[in-house]
Amino acid sequence: MENIEYVLPGEIEKRSFAIIGEELKERGIVLPPEQEPVTKRVIHTSADFDYAKTMTYSPHAVQIAKELIAGGADIVTDTNMALAGINKKRLGEFGGTVHCFMADEDVAREAKARQVTRATVSMEHAANIDKPVIFAVGNAPTALISLYELMQKSDWRPAFIIGVPVGFVNVEAAKELILKTDVPHIVNRGRKGGSNVAAAIVNALLYQIRPV
């Protein structure tokens, strides 16, 4: 077949990352070494080089997140698609679990009664988890707003926030709230993001840590 190149299955990802590296170079973009594997995997999952300009990291964010995962931190996400995309086997090797409370019946019931989103209630439930938690928000800006409000109301702090919801209503403002906090974070500024992006960020972190 014309234009189809045969590439060994194990080589496809490697080749893709090489192409992403070359095209970043052509665009004159140099990513900080710590951030490079994460931003590149986000571009890999979206084919969208805009992310090279909008991905925002707090100081030493990648190092901090890797240490949390290596220490057995759990992950809470706001979508079942991110839950499906995160490498749970790899996370489990470090003692971590991924939670998504969005489909829980008691979450739905409470959200309906209070006229808030299920994401809001999910985050409140997750704040009760009694171990370090990385929040990976790929869909609902209300999840980020909920985390921000919990921090305003109390001394509670999440261990880490991956803030990459996508959309048109309150998405940009919700991300800016998280950028103002002192919680270590990886946020994609602007409207773009998604559950695929959230999963890609978590997996990029996971793939850089060797199980002991």
Query: 38 or 198, CB closer to a second copy?
Result: 198
Nearer to a second copy, 25 or 60 (CB): 25
Dihedral angle sign, alpha carbons of residues 172, 67, 129, 200: positive
CA distance 206 to 208: 5
Count of C-beta atoms within a 10 Å radius of residue 169: 10
Which CB sits closer to a second copy, 19 or 30? 19
| DSSP 8-state assignment for residue 117 | -
Q: Is residue 3 part of the contact set for a second copy (CB under 8 A)? A: yes
Q: State yes or no: residue 168 binds a second copy (CB under 8 A).
A: yes
Q: Which of 70, 143, 166, 206 binds a second copy (CB under 8 A)?
A: 166
Q: Which of 38, 92, 27 is nearest to 207 (CA)?
A: 38
Residue 186's beta-bridge partner residues? 57, 162
Find the shortest distance in angstroms from Cβ 191 to a second copy: 4
**Residue 31 lies near a second copy (rule: CB under 8 A):** no
- CA 154, 156, 157 angle in degrees (round to 5)? 130
What mask of x and - would describe binding to a second copy in positions 57 to 96, judged by CB under 8 A? -----------------------xx-xxx-----------
| DSSP-derived pairing of the beta strands 55-57 and 160-163 | unpaired
Q: Which of 75, 136, 177, 178 binds a second copy (CB under 8 A)?
A: 177
| Rounded CA separation 27/22 (Å) | 9
Question: Taking the complex as a whole, how short is the minimal distance between the CB of residue 115 and a second copy, in angstroms?
Answer: 6
CB of 190 to a second copy, least distance (A): 8
Which residue, chain included where needed, has tokens 């996971």? 206
Distance CA 143, CA 83 (A): 15
Q: Are 66 and 132 in contact (CB under 8 A)?
A: no
Q: CB 153 → a second copy: shortest distance, Å?
A: 13
Name the segment binding a second copy (CB under 8 A); options: 3-11, 24-32, 91-99, 155-163: 3-11
Minimum gap (Å) between residue 134 Cβ and a second copy: 19
**C-alpha distance from residue 75 to each of 124, 134, 181 (Å):** 14, 5, 19
Number of residues that bind a second copy (CB under 8 A): 49
Residues making contact with a second copy (CB under 8 A) = 1-5, 7-9, 12, 15-16, 19-20, 44-48, 80-81, 83-85, 111, 115-118, 142, 145, 148, 166-171, 173-174, 176-177, 190-196, 199
